[in-house]
Amino acid sequence: MRVADYAVAATPKTIVTIGLGSCVAITLHDPVAGIGGLAHVLLPSEAMSRERENRAKFACTAVPLLIEQMQALGARLARMQAKLAGGAAMFTSLIATPALQMGERNVMAARDALQLAGIPLVGQDVGGDFGRSVYFSVADGTMRIRSVRRREIVV
């Protein structure tokens, strides 16, 4: 999966996205139905882009998009759980301002969208200054997160 893209699937599928820097992977999982979705979010909100048609591009629209697509497969909102990965500060040495980095803004926007939807955040691996790749298992909702700079972790 690419940047500003999403996928939903039923068991037994693994959804993969690579190259998360300041981007955030948002995963939703309905453990009873065995349905999951992942969005590779580029920006916190539509206000930050001229091109706004792609709902997977923004944290504020990607969460409702995943919910809709998962419900179409039989998932229920009341059973959904979320996990986040990414949101790194990739170029801190190049930016002199103490303002929030794009990665932090993406994480905050994803958390806000999940809270608005009433979906609990049950796991995360966010921040830092390194990139990540995510392997999301729809069968059990686990995220395997790989990075060049550290060992693989499971969330």
Residues known to be catalytic: 23
Burial zone of 116 (CB within 10 Å; 0-12 exposed, 13-18 middle, 19+ buried): exposed
Question: If DSSP codes are grouped into helix, strand and coil, which group holds residue 46?
Answer: helix
Task: Indicate the residue type of 82.
Answer: A
**Helical H runs in the chain?**
59-72, 102-117
